[in-house]
Structure 1
Amino acid sequence: MCGRFAQFETKEEYLEFLNAGVEFVGVLDGEPIGRYNVAPGTRVLMLNQRDDKLHLDPVNWGYQPAWAKESGRTPMINARVETAAASRMFKPLWNTGRALIMADGWYEWKKVPGDAKAKQPYFIYHQNKKPIFLAAISRFHADALDAPDEDGFVIVTAASDKGLLDIHDRRPLVMTRKACLEWLSFDTSPEHAEQLALDCGIPADEFTFHPVGKAVGNIHNNSAAIIKSIENPII
């Protein structure tokens, strides 16, 4: 799964690394975004394409359509790549709301055998320490003065394999640069987007990870210190 991630570089660095070749609409101020502990329920800069141009919009991380709210279901923050394209909840988002979440890495908690309450957090990132782009699907009204309660996004997740399985059995779907550009394009059909999601994720063996302190568990902690490796993790 993906329940916490980091998004701390400048907008320019993410966009330059993506090298989309598509006009960007917005202000690039050169200031680091500076979010080392992005949590569900907060507004996050989401990259999306509208009218053949790229936009960055602050959108709530979490999705709860009216029918789900009425039935008492909690907001969803992830969608499984294996089922999202066809599910009742996520199919409309998949068809018309594909987006990307810029990130520098994400966090997972490894369970301690025999102690259900003890978990060791890890920070996972690309081995070259470059930006990554998480596949997302969304519903939002870009031009609305007051965003409807239903507006939000979820991060698409895939099964972990190789070394990442040691930490958690799910991970965010991190797409290759070429796949990212096709994923965003309105010329890409939902069916082709499904193939991209299934076939064009960056392999797990390109990522690495290290243990971090328990401070990341508190969403009020937001500094570069929380991504630093610690010695003597509990597991």
Structure 2
Amino acid sequence: MCGRFTQVKSRDDYLEFLLEEAESSIPYDPEPIGRFNVAPGTKVLLLNNREDSLHLDPVIWSYAPGWWDKAPLINARVETAATSRMFKPLWNHGRAIVFADGWYEWKKEGDKKQPYYIYRKDRKPLFFAAIGKQPFDVGDEAEGFLIVTAAADHGLVDIHDRRPLVFSPAAALEWMDPETTGAQASELAHDAAVPADEFTWHPVTRAVGNVKNQSPELIEPISNPAA
């Protein structure tokens, strides 16, 4: 993880759960985003704090600096991102948040892989920790952003051994704050992540495997996952 997720609600719905008095340059937009199958390599609304104000920018979900000669990366492991040569500058100066409702994971069942949709039991929005190349409103498209992942625990490990690092609203705001140091961000990642027991999941159609499919039916539970 994380390889696919949903960003369905309107930007206003997500922001309502996140902030009340924070300065924001984000225009009002009640229109649902309606993305039921967000895939790597596409532009995603990325929330970030610059010049003492919150901004939403469409940023490509992948990261490949000019010297990187392999496939673009989409995730950064929380265990190593803060200290690695590649990710440390992003961890210190390019922290951001991705809005989501849930994410997909595939589990091998027999000779097939069955997708599952994972979300909060209370259906509240998710705030994925992300890192990327600032400034997000300009620059090289190839140097976009990555979603930070952590080891799965409790029941989630039965679906996949990794999961996105999900923050509470207060922790998400602190994560994005430019005054938060890299060391403090590491403490947040360790202490302020939403725990695994607040999530639930159900099997969904394998149609989610095709990035062209974007219908609401993708997140509906199915009754015969082994079929």
Task: Tell me the TM-score normalised to structure 2 length.
Answer: 0.96
CA contact 1:59–1:151 (8 Å) conserved in 2: no
Deviations 1:37-96 (A, max 9, x none): 00000000000001111100000000011111xxx3111100000000001111111111
Map 1:187-202 onto structure 2 (within 5 A): 187-202=179-194
Output the CA distance in 2 between the equivalents of 1:53 and 1:170. 32
For structure 2, list consecutive stretches of 5 or more residues without a partner in the other structure. none
Task: Decide whether aligned partners of structure 1 residues 120 and 7 sit closer, same or farther in structure 2, where only a CA change above 3 A counts.
Answer: same
1:98 maps onto 2:92 in alignment? no
Task: Decide whether aligned partners of structure 1 residues 153 and 122 sit closer, same or farther in structure 2, where only a CA change above 3 A counts.
Answer: same
- Corresponding residue of 2:51: 51
1:127 maps onto 2:121 in alignment? yes
- Corresponding residue of 2:29: 29
Task: Tell me the TM-score normalised to structure 1 length.
Answer: 0.93
- Corresponding residue of 1:80: 77
- Corresponding residue of 1:165: 157
Equivalent position SS for 1:15: helix
CA contact 1:6–1:35 (8 Å) conserved in 2: yes
Task: Decide whether aligned partners of structure 1 residues 199 and 37 sit closer, same or farther in structure 2, where only a CA change above 3 A counts.
Answer: same
Output the CA distance in 2 between the equivalents of 1:21 and 1:177. 13
CA contact 2:102–2:117 (8 Å) conserved in 1: yes
Runs of 4+ in 1 over 2 A off after TM superposition: 140-144
Task: Decide whether aligned partners of structure 1 residues 229 and 16 sit closer, same or farther in structure 2, where only a CA change above 3 A counts.
Answer: same
Output the CA distance in 2 between the equivalents of 1:137 and 1:187. 16
Output the CA distance in 1 between the equivalents of 2:100 and 2:3. 13
Which amino acid in structure 2 is aligned with residue 3 of structure 1?
G
Output the CA distance in 1 between the equivalents of 2:33 and 2:198. 25
- Corresponding residue of 1:225: 217
Which amino acid in structure 2 is aligned with residue 30 of structure 1?
P
Output the CA distance in 2 between the equivalents of 1:20 and 1:193. 22
For structure 1, list consecutive stretches of 5 or more residues without a partner in the other structure. none
Distance apart, 1:143 and its partner CA: 4.6
Distance apart, 1:140 and its partner CA: 4.1
Which amino acid in structure 2 is aligned with residue 58 of structure 1?
P
CA contact 1:59–1:140 (8 Å) conserved in 2: no
Distance apart, 1:151 and its partner CA: 2.3
Output the CA distance in 2 between the equivalents of 1:88 and 1:4. 26
Count of residue correspondences: 227
- Corresponding residue of 1:214: 206
Aligned-CA RMSD value: 1.3
Task: Decide whether aligned partners of structure 1 residues 15 and 35 sit closer, same or farther in structure 2, where only a CA change above 3 A counts.
Answer: same
Output the CA distance in 1 between the equivalents of 2:101 and 2:137. 28
CA contact 1:48–1:55 (8 Å) conserved in 2: yes
1:148 maps onto 2:145 in alignment? no
CA contact 1:139–1:152 (8 Å) conserved in 2: yes
